[in-house]
Structure 1
Amino acid sequence: MVSDSDNPIQPPPWLNAPPVDPYPFAETYDLRTGPDLHPALNSLLPYVGLWRGRGRGGFPTIEDFDYAQEIRITHDGRPFLHYESRAWILDEQSQPVRPAGREVGWWRPVLREEGSGTDELEVLLTTPTGVMELHVGKITGTQVELVSDAVLRTATAKEVTAGHRLFGIVEGALLYAQDMAAMGQPLSPHLSARLIRVGG
């Protein structure tokens, strides 16, 4: 590949380079290993971990259902948490029936100028069903309350227009309740669960 005989254009060095080694930086839900927790995350420290439990779901447009869930909240030393949730439907005998909701996203405390965290929180969540939510929230002790600030949807996603979530650490367990406005319905209870720390 040349522009003319006097000025050959060299290909970038990465064009034909071999694969790189695996990602070299640790991300962990175990505070005893990996990088130190960023000081801005101190108020969210109780949430870091691997959690599993059960919940109950419903909405005015669907039948109530039981589900199990795993939530993984990790950090890599920077001032945000990585949030990942996956759930599955349970039958009347608490046996798994099929995969259910999944979410990935980021919990970002609003930082002061010197880099410490405030009690304000920005949370971005994305689902494989085509919905992206921006929440703003407040940290009060071991409680986190989130209110949707914006909801974006793909052209094929179901209509979701607003949300409200309340998380809390109660006697060592992670409890939460989620309300949703969707499919022409006003903000209504949707999910609630209790998860036990199984890692971290």
Structure 2
Amino acid sequence: MTLHPGLEVVSGLLGAWRGDGHGEYPTIEPFDYTEEVTFTDVCKPFLHYVQRTWSPAGAPMHTETGYLRIADGTRVEFVLAQPTGQVELAEGPLTKTAEGFTCELRSQVVNAGTAKRVEATTRRIELAGDILTTSFAMAAVGEPMTHHLASQMHRIS
């Protein structure tokens, strides 16, 4: 299989990543978690994405899945679905770096009728060699845009 040429700038994401994270938000107690993400080439102009998290005791916490699309090598479109009832379309600029890239994504969110209300999210993704760093903020349940999650993962495959 040959990677679609439009994905070359994010080819370093291919594989599985795992590491530790920390979460906080004004409406909950701070918490730690383990995160694992996988980016898979499907021979199309996008990567398939799966994310899962666990508590320090090993209990499942969150999961999401979607597709990472690259527009003209300079913009990211991240299409995500979450079992909590949200669908995100996160978009933003992609900046190449010596060891990978960074991107800052702002989202449009659609909430299912029974889901907790999420108005908007922002995501920052940084790839530097074999380290993948993420941060996530959200405006939700009546709170303004506020930092929620941060993780640092290392390549496991």
TM-score for both structures, normalised by structure 1: 0.74
1:20-99 equivalent positions in 2, closer than 5 A: 35-90=1-56, 95-96=57-58, 98-99=59-60
Aligned to 1:121: 76
Identity over aligned pairs, percent: 38
Q: 1:143 aligns with which of 102, 113, 125?
A: 102
Which runs of no fewer than 5 residues in structure 1 stay unpaired? 1-34, 111-116
Count of matched residue pairs: 153
Q: Deviations over 1:84-140 (max 9, x none)?
A: 1000111xxxx32x2111100011112xxxxxx331121111101110011111110
SS at match of 2:44: coil
Give yes or no for contact 1:173–1:194 (8 Å, CA) kept in 2: yes
Amino acid at match of 2:88: E
Give the Cα separation in 1 of the matches to 2:144 and 2:10.
30
* Structure 1 stretches of 4+ moved >2 Å: none
Residue 120 (structure 2) pairs with residue 178 (structure 1): no
Runs of at least 5 residues in structure 2 that lack an aligned partner in the other structure: none
Deviation string 1:31-53 (CA, Å, 9 cap, x unpaired) is xxxx1111000111111110011
Correspondence for 1:23? none
Secondary structure of 1:155's aligned partner: coil
1:141-161 deviation per Cα after TM superposition (whole angstroms, max 9, x unaligned): 11121111x211111100101
Q: What CA distance in whole angstroms lies between the structure 2 residues aligned with 1:186 and 1:76? A: 37
Given residue 129 of structure 1, which amino acid in structure 2 is its aligned partner? T
Q: 3-state SS of the aligned residue for 1:118? A: coil
AA at the equivalent of 2:109: V
Contact 2:7 2:73 in 1 (8 A): no
If the length of structure 2 is used for normalisation, what is the TM-score? 0.94
- Larger % of strand: which? 2
- The CA distance in 2 between the partners of 1:194 and 1:122, in whole Å, is 21
CA RMSD of aligned residues (A): 1.0
Picking from 143, 146, 149, the partner of 1:191 is 149
Bigger relative contact order (CA 8 A; separation at least 6):
2
Letter in 1 for 2:73: T
